[in-house]
Amino acid sequence: MATVDLNADMGESYGPWKMGNDDTLLDIVTSANIACGFHAGDPNIMLSTMKMAAEKDVGIGAHPGFHDIEGFGRNRLSIPIGTLQNQVRYQVGAALGMARAAGTMVRHIKLHGAMSNMASEDAEMAYALYDAALSVAPEATIMVLAATAHQEAAEKLGCKWVGEIFADRAYNDDATLVDRRLPGAVIHDAAIAGPRIADMVEAGAIITQSGKHIPTKIDTICLHADTPEAIEIAKSTRQALRDRGIRLEKFSV
Amino acid sequence: MATVDLNADMGESYGPWKMGNDDTLLDIVTSANIACGFHAGDPNIMLSTMKMAAEKDVGIGAHPGFHDIEGFGRNRLSIPIGTLQNQVRYQVGAALGMARAAGTMVRHIKLHGAMSNMASEDAEMAYALYDAALSVAPEATIMVLAATAHQEAAEKLGCKWVGEIFADRAYNDDATLVDRRLPGAVIHDAAIAGPRIADMVEAGAIITQSGKHIPTKIDTICLHADTPEAIEIAKSTRQALRDRGIRLEKFSV
Amino acid sequence: MATVDLNADMGESYGPWKMGNDDTLLDIVTSANIACGFHAGDPNIMLSTMKMAAEKDVGIGAHPGFHDIEGFGRNRLSIPIGTLQNQVRYQVGAALGMARAAGTMVRHIKLHGAMSNMASEDAEMAYALYDAALSVAPEATIMVLAATAHQEAAEKLGCKWVGEIFADRAYNDDATLVDRRLPGAVIHDAAIAGPRIADMVEAGAIITQSGKHIPTKIDTICLHADTPEAIEIAKSTRQALRDRGIRLEKFSV
Amino acid sequence: MATVDLNADMGESYGPWKMGNDDTLLDIVTSANIACGFHAGDPNIMLSTMKMAAEKDVGIGAHPGFHDIEGFGRNRLSIPIGTLQNQVRYQVGAALGMARAAGTMVRHIKLHGAMSNMASEDAEMAYALYDAALSVAPEATIMVLAATAHQEAAEKLGCKWVGEIFADRAYNDDATLVDRRLPGAVIHDAAIAGPRIADMVEAGAIITQSGKHIPTKIDTICLHADTPEAIEIAKSTRQALRDRGIRLEKFSV
């Protein structure tokens, strides 16, 4: 029986400011990527989010990003790679500590935002950052954007990794995401999103906008929850997968 | 044969700005308190300082402080205790991670600056912060200001702890430090500092300005290195202790 | 004909995080206190909020606070007064610059959060901070908590000032606010809030919980908008004042 | 009689960390570029540096940079241009405020570090940033890297501007700086630096490494002071210019 993991970014509130619907999402996903305080999150939010996730038996991941709170880690920054590695180490260390304090543990690591985007186009950068993360958490699994430089780097490292696709984004024929500014790039229709993802999981392939199949390891589906629409897509994806008899559970490697 | 540890704060540079003489100090001390990025230090500096310390077989401690870079952690801040606990957890977790990446480990935890001062007057606060630190690093030893509320909290927690006195500060009869603004509060004369500390270690007591002996566990001596004078005092202390046949080595608990 | 100003804190979003209902509030108030980036707000938010306020002919104020984003300026910090003065100067200067870029100007200055609370109990601190603010914006009016140390400081400075009372907070007989933890401290009932304030404006006095009248200069009423209830109270206050024939307009000094 | 201005970056200390030799430099230069708190400097340092500069009759400039303290504004960041404009406005406003509090004024604006480098290659970016700066300080003069996109932008804006060359950097034949990694890129010899700059000022042209003359407006020479060598070069440049009968004074436009 096929199984797949559902993941989402969480713990993205900051100080007095709220973001997201972590409560709702934690009833939908099986893995949570927790912001580590550099692009969002703070020590209070990290701990409370990890506790909530652990209570709902949702797997916990560290979600390091650029040190850019005002830009939410979405700006591309040219930081020396050695400095970036240490910033990743620091964030992963902090996440491990908070998880221990919460009585749980960090199972996986996923890069955030512009750091992830840049690394998905640059296997050397991905390798350096994953290597840094694993120097702090050698037992963790890396969550890679399937069929990108992320995957190439993880394979070269020989580390444990899982492949991820997006529930709400269309793919080009080279497995990259369709530019957000183009029509159809973002799936807004929950009735389409769910079956589309179920098709991909069953096929073991990314199905591109043109219908092309790119065989790849699909272990986890990335969901969002920042809009009411996103939550509908998340729920639809969950339902469509179950309807096809695909079991939803934390990834295992 | 009596033994004692010598400790100093380190890794207090920040970004492009240098502070201290860590190179020199690492040849004098047996334990190093490494800033964790909240009042000083950054991920690059944490890693390189820990590596240097490990190479010289100097014990490594996490040195968490208030989140106040511009104030160097020296301003008294009234932050809710739960938030402070999480900030301590975060910093200790980061330190553990960086130490692992550096191929070493965190042996002890010492509070910094105003956070330490406030906790030395408030056993409840000290208890909460130590408890938080140990929730992340249960195997670590707490370094307490001997005979203060720090010690009371550590004893109540039943954790491993070592008692610390200052090489260059005069004591009042209640074991508090003489106010910096009063004459004689800070020892500037290396010829006096070394023998004074050796006397205290031999006596197993804080010897106050008035000559009173306050028996207490003295496991480690705090040295400074921010001025040429401070380095002289550090060297004098080291020499005076050796001359009396006191062995200098990392504390053991 | 009596007139009074209605003010509210605004521009308290930060980076990607939203806070408040500035759009709605700008149709209710006559003066807006704009966060200056130290406890909330960022350069984008400052500019856009000032532009919106100017378009609606709402008076603009600089609202400096402690440098404590994660604590929203609500923690009491013991910072050397000279440093605080410079932090106030910096924030007021930034606000003046943003206002000029927005084609408008800063009319008033109001301290935020814990900085305001501490200064309301300490006339020396209030004097130092107002003096600093006026060294950058000598033409601005200081908005003081009526009948507190704020007012004492403004009178001693001989600067332009206006007195402020709260629409939703009960007063003790010494003109301080009833502790939030006590029953009745916060007015939740819009039907009560409006007439209560109109009574005070007509009486030219703070009317305390016990019914005592403390004559004071009431130039402006502080409104909130962080909850649906707060917006109801803001609207009720506005309506009650107009019903009594009190004109609502930007304060003049 | 020819005149030229000498400028240097200043006020680059931060909180407890010292950087540079502002005291010494203020006896050499005629204009000072004051960091505005985003890449270095803090409100205390801004005010004290401006006061020192004013006392020595040195002209004051605002020196805005990327919001990147740990990277000292030297990392290239891809921030939306509208956000960058507002960050520049904020910094310039803060500088104007601090200058007013110091009893002086901001005469010029010069971009810092990577922000300056990026703008020197991108006239649109330079235009947007200068336009933003002038929206806050319309009376200020822009200091441009002579013969780069900076100058193109300033000319298009029709604003007051002065052209700057470096005392210690070699030039390529297209007026760009020789890459730091190449031999001869940085002038280390004070005996060479001074006469070289005097030649350029007399020629009214950048003289490149190959000897080519690129005629350009040279109003100000950028000096450094971060090393003993740099101070020697600064002094040598000053002396060589005076020896040739070139008067050193604050630029006028």
What would the pLDDT profile of A97-125 be if each residue is shown by its tens digit?
999 999 999 999 999 999 999 999 999 99
Q: Do C79 and B67 touch (CB under 8 A)?
A: no
Q: Do A16 and C72 touch (CB under 8 A)?
A: yes
String of DSSP letters for chain C: --EEEEEEEE---BTTB--S-HHHHTTT-SEEEEE-SSSS--HHHHHHHHHHHHHTT-EEEEE---S-TTTTT-SEEE--HHHHHHHHHHHHHHHHHHHHHTT----EE---HHHHHHHHT-HHHHHHHHHHHHHH-TTPEEEEETTSHHHHHHHHHT--EEEEEETTB-B-TTSPBPPTTSTTSB---HHHHHHHHHHHHHHTEEE-TTS-EEE----EEEE--SSHHHHHHHHHHHHHHHHTTPEE-----
Check pLDDT > 90 for residue C227.
Answer: no
Going by pLDDT thresholds of 50, 70 and 90, the confidence category of residue A229 is: confident
B16: chain A residues, CB-CB within 8 Å: none
Per-residue confidence (pLDDT) for residue B198, from 0 to 100 = 95
A15: chain C residues, CB-CB within 8 Å: 14, 69-72
D42 touches chain B (CB under 8 A): yes
Considering CB atoms only, which of B71, B78, B83 is closest to C76?
B78
The residue of chain B nearest to residue A137, with distances taken between CA atoms, is B97
Going by pLDDT thresholds of 50, 70 and 90, the confidence category of residue D86 is: very high
Q: How far is the alpha carbon of B228 from chain D, nearest alpha carbon, in Å?
A: 17
C8 touches chain D (CB under 8 A): no
φ/ψ of A163, rounded to 5, equals -100, 140
Going by pLDDT thresholds of 50, 70 and 90, the confidence category of residue A192 is: very high
Per-residue confidence (pLDDT) for residue D123, from 0 to 100 = 98
The residue of chain A nearest to residue D74, with distances taken between CA atoms, is A79
Q: Do C132 and D90 touch (CB under 8 A)?
A: no
ipTM of the complex in this document: 0.96
D47: chain C residues, CB-CB within 8 Å: 86, 89
Average per-residue pLDDT for chain C: 96
A46 touches chain B (CB under 8 A): yes
Going by pLDDT thresholds of 50, 70 and 90, the confidence category of residue D155 is: very high
Q: Do A42 and C70 touch (CB under 8 A)?
A: yes
Cα dihedral D47, D49, D51, D55, rounded to 10, equals: 180
Number of inter-chain CB pairs under 8 A, C vs D: 84
Per-residue confidence (pLDDT) for residue B250, from 0 to 100 = 97
D220 touches chain C (CB under 8 A): no
Q: Do A90 and B46 touch (CB under 8 A)?
A: yes
Query: Is position D163 within any domain?
Result: yes
What number of other Cβ atoms are within 10 A of residue A24's Cβ? 14
Considering CB atoms only, which of C43, C83, C132 is closest to D89?
C43
C70: chain A residues, CB-CB within 8 Å: 14-15, 42
Per-residue confidence (pLDDT) for residue D15, from 0 to 100 = 98
Q: How far apart are CA D132 and CA D119, in angstroms?
A: 13
Alpha carbon distances (Å) from B83 to A101, C89, D238: 14, 29, 54
Q: Do B14 and D17 touch (CB under 8 A)?
A: yes
Q: How far is the alpha carbon of B17 from chain D, nearest alpha carbon, in Å?
A: 6
Q: What is the mean pLDDT of residues B23-49?
A: 97
Q: What is the mean pLDDT of residues D105-130?
A: 97
Query: Is position D243 within any domain?
Result: yes
Contact (Cβ atoms closer than 8 angstroms) between residue C185 and residue C179: yes
C42 touches chain A (CB under 8 A): yes
Going by pLDDT thresholds of 50, 70 and 90, the confidence category of residue D228 is: confident
Q: How far apart are CA C16 and CA B101, in angstroms?
A: 32
Contact (Cβ atoms closer than 8 angstroms) between residue A94 and residue C37: no
Considering CB atoms only, which of C70, C71, C78 is closest to B75?
C78
Q: How far apart are CA A163 and CA D72, in angstroms?
A: 37
Check pLDDT > 80 for residue D226.
Answer: no
Considering CB atoms only, which of B46, B92, B101 is closest to A97?
B92
Going by pLDDT thresholds of 50, 70 and 90, the confidence category of residue A228 is: confident
- 3-state SS assignment for residue B202: helix
Check pLDDT > 90 for residue A227.
Answer: no
Q: How many residues does chain A have?
A: 253
Number of domains forming the structure of chain C: 1
- 3-state SS assignment for residue D248: strand
Q: What is the mean pLDDT of residues B181-202?
A: 93
Average per-residue pLDDT for chain A: 96
Per-residue confidence (pLDDT) for residue D235, from 0 to 100 = 92
pLDDT digits (tens, 9 = 90+) for C32-86: 999 999 999 999 999 999 999 999 999 999 999 999 999 999 999 999 999 999 9
Q: What is the mean pLDDT of residues A147-166?
A: 97
Check pLDDT > 90 for residue C225.
Answer: no
- State the DSSP code for D225: -
pLDDT digits (tens, 9 = 90+) for C143-178: 999 999 999 999 999 999 999 999 999 999 999 889
Check pLDDT > 90 for residue D160.
Answer: yes
Check pLDDT > 80 for residue B226.
Answer: no
Return the exposure string of D116-134: e unless at least 16 CB atoms fall within 10 Å of the residue's CB, then b. Answer: bbbbbebbebbbbbbebbb
C43: chain D residues, CB-CB within 8 Å: 83, 86-87, 89-90
Q: How far is the alpha carbon of A19 from chain C, nearest alpha carbon, in Å?
A: 7
Closest by CA to A16, choosing from B171, C70, B180, is C70
pLDDT digits (tens, 9 = 90+) for B101-160: 999 999 999 999 999 999 999 999 999 999 999 999 999 999 999 999 999 999 999 999
Q: How far apart are CA A136 and CA A229, in angstroms?
A: 37
Q: What is the mean pLDDT of residues A58-76?
A: 97
Which subunits have 3 or more CB–CB pairs within 8 Å of chain B?
A, C, D
Q: How far is the alpha carbon of A79 from chain D, nearest alpha carbon, in Å?
A: 6
Going by pLDDT thresholds of 50, 70 and 90, the confidence category of residue D105 is: very high
Per-residue confidence (pLDDT) for residue A139, from 0 to 100 = 97
A47 touches chain B (CB under 8 A): yes
pLDDT digits (tens, 9 = 90+) for D12-51: 999 999 999 999 999 999 999 999 999 999 999 999 999 9
Check pLDDT > 80 for residue C1.
Answer: no
CATH code of the domain containing D92: 3.20.20.370
Per-residue confidence (pLDDT) for residue B122, from 0 to 100 = 97
Q: What is the mean pLDDT of residues D191-220?
A: 96
Considering CB atoms only, which of D70, D71, D79 is closest to A75?
D79
Question: Could you tell me the residue range of the domain that residue C138 belongs to?
Answer: 3-248
Q: Which amino acid is at C88?
A: V
Q: Distance from first CA to last CA of chain C, Å, rounded?
A: 16
Q: How far is the alpha carbon of C126 from chain B, nearest alpha carbon, in Å?
A: 19
Check pLDDT > 90 for residue D76.
Answer: yes
Q: How far apart are CA D201 and CA D217, in angstroms?
A: 9
Beta bridge partners of B5: B220
* Residue B212 neighbours by CB under 8 Å, 6+ apart: B173
Q: What is the mean pLDDT of residues D231-245?
A: 94
Q: Do A72 and C16 touch (CB under 8 A)?
A: yes
Query: Is position C126 within any domain?
Result: yes
Q: How far is the alpha carbon of C115 from chain A, nearest alpha carbon, in Å?
A: 17
Query: Is position B253 within any domain?
Result: no
Q: What is the mean pLDDT of residues D72-98?
A: 98
Per-residue confidence (pLDDT) for residue A180, from 0 to 100 = 84
Considering CB atoms only, which of D96, D100, D132 is closest to C135?
D100
Radius of gyration of chain D (CA): 17
Contact (Cβ atoms closer than 8 angstroms) between residue D30 and residue D250: yes
Query: Is position C157 within any domain?
Result: yes
Q: Do D13 and B14 touch (CB under 8 A)?
A: no
Check pLDDT > 80 for residue D1.
Answer: no
Per-residue confidence (pLDDT) for residue B1, from 0 to 100 = 72
Considering CB atoms only, which of A13, A42, A70 is closest to C15?
A70
String of DSSP letters for D182-208: STTSB---HHHHHHHHHHHHHHTEEE-
Q: How far apart are CA B86 and CA A36, in angstroms?
A: 13
A87: chain D residues, CB-CB within 8 Å: none
pLDDT digits (tens, 9 = 90+) for A17-49: 999 999 999 999 999 999 999 999 999 999 999
C82 touches chain B (CB under 8 A): no
